[in-house]
Amino acid sequence: MREILRVQKLGKNHGGYHGETIDIRAVLRDIETAARKFGWAQEIFHEQAGFPWLAFHRAPRLAPKAPRLYLSAGIHGDEPAGPLAALRLLQENRWPENAEIFLLPCQNPAGFTLNQRGNAAGLDLNRDYRQPQAAETRAHIAWLERQPPFDLYLCLHEDWESHGFYLYEQNPDDKPSLAETLVAAVKKVCPIDLSESIEGRAAQGGIVRPNISPPERPDWPEAFYLITRKARQGYTLEAPSDFPLATRVNALVAAVRAALDFAG
């Protein structure tokens, strides 16, 4: 624990993300290699500018009524911890036997080559889910429409301004919350943002429960599409990108593992 408390903000992020970048083509190759090694079904549901949009599926081993989990990462090209966390999870290959997993490891590869939030045209794909303009978003929604409903979604993100990890919860049916469990798991490897206001919304203990309903908002993030059409519970995980990249990957992996433990 003492070790963890020494993790400090780097102070690099002024006006945006200025930390480490990744070679997304190499990361995607490693992701495909790990997925193949461990028997995931792979689908390329979109191709653009020489990049594949990958979706991986892992069928449950045992239970016919296994919970379905959806994980996505890399929709913002200046948030490298998400695709790296997806890679780590695939390489470590510790998944619950009785869960069905859908994993999209990188939804904005071109953005990573530019280290920018938006796609190659500068469009924020994570505001494009109500009336989609980008080909990437339309392809993603078409893919989502072919999938069964999910019991839980996890969207992996980073926030260049935050003082630690935090998450957004969407839980309109008041199901048992995973929020505290996920934060407790992350706290062992990464500081938590304990601000009372994060991104203009009330927060408590690193948890934001936004009381905004999707119909009231014109520019839907992926999570709003998911909660409206595909799932009734989900979490947007925000690693603090002014901390070392390894800490942020650890944070996202810890949160996903805690959710998998809960589901499996």
Minimum CB separation of residue 238 from Zn ion in Å reads 7
Minimum CB separation of residue 123 from Zn ion in Å reads 14
Helix or strand run (H / E) with residue 260: helix 245-263
Cα 117 to Cα 80: distance, rounded to the nearest angstrom: 11
Minimum CB separation of residue 157 from Zn ion in Å reads 3
Minimum CB separation of residue 79 from Zn ion in Å reads 5
CA dist 87 → 60, 67, 176, 219, 221 (Å): 20, 22, 29, 29, 23
Cα 202 to Cα 18: distance, rounded to the nearest angstrom: 27
Closest to Zn ion by CB, 46 or 76:
76
Q: What phi, psi does 16 have (nearest 5°)?
A: 165, -175
Minimum CB separation of residue 65 from Zn ion in Å reads 33
Closest to Zn ion by CB, 67 or 221:
221
Given the DSSP bridges, would you call strands 51-58 and 41-48 parallel, antiparallel or unpaired? Answer: antiparallel
Closest to Zn ion by CB, 249 or 263:
249
Total interface residues for Zn ion by CB under 5 A? 3
The reply on whether position 157 binds Zn ion by CB under 5 A is yes
Among 68, 76, 187, 248, binds Zn ion (CB under 5 A): 76
The reply on whether position 248 binds Zn ion by CB under 5 A is no
99 with 263: CB under 8 angstroms? Answer: yes
Cα 247 to Cα 186: distance, rounded to the nearest angstrom: 10
Stretch that binds Zn ion, among 11-19, 101-109, 150-158, 197-205 (CB under 5 A): 150-158
- Which residues contribute to the site for Zn ion (CB under 5 A)? 76, 79, 157
